[in-house]
A = this chain, B = another copy of it.
Amino acid sequence: MIELVTTPIDREQVVRSVASPQAGAVATFDGVVRDHARGKSVTHLYYEAYPEMAKTEMVKIRKQALERWPLHGLAIVHRTGRLEVGESSVFIAVASAHRADAFEACRFVIDTLKTSVPIWKKEHYRDGEVWIEGYGA
């Protein structure tokens, strides 16, 4: 499952999409909007994507991970638009027979996603807003 969505991410649905009777381990990563960043209080975030390319890049990352680790399932869902504090911007689920593979692949996916998938976030504060661009923000 590779999806760009504009509504809240249903984590259980994503986890179920990677389930397999052969999988003994499911690792997930959930990226959540924090109430503070760069020393400022965040009121909400806005995520913008280059949608077609973002999806292409997410498919590539999934393919790389499936080639590199023996996995039974891998799903990536990224949300765009306005997100409130506590809401999930990205959710990754990885299923494998053994836990090391699930952990490593999950980490690889989020690390790679953050440098290659064309999605940007704008942080909104009580007194302004700023695009957070690049360099592992």
CB of A74 to closest CB in B, whole Å: 14
Contact B107 A103 (CB under 8 A): yes
Inter-chain contacts of A27 with B (CB < 8 A):
27-30, 106
Number of copies of this protein chain within its complex = 2
Q: Tell me the chain A residues, 107-122 only, with Cβ under 8 Å from chain B.
A: 107, 110
Contact A103 B35 (CB under 8 A): no
The count of residues in chain A whose C-beta lies closer than 8 Å to any C-beta of chain B is: 30
Complexed CA–CA distance, A29 and B21 (Å):
17
Complexed CA–CA distance, A32 and B36 (Å):
35
Complexed CA–CA distance, A27 and B99 (Å):
13
Contact A86 B19 (CB under 8 A): yes
CB of A42 to closest CB in B, whole Å: 9
Complexed CA–CA distance, A95 and B31 (Å):
10
The residues of A with any CB-CB pair to B shorter than 8 Å are: 11-12, 15, 19, 21-36, 85-86, 95, 97, 99, 102-103, 106-107, 110
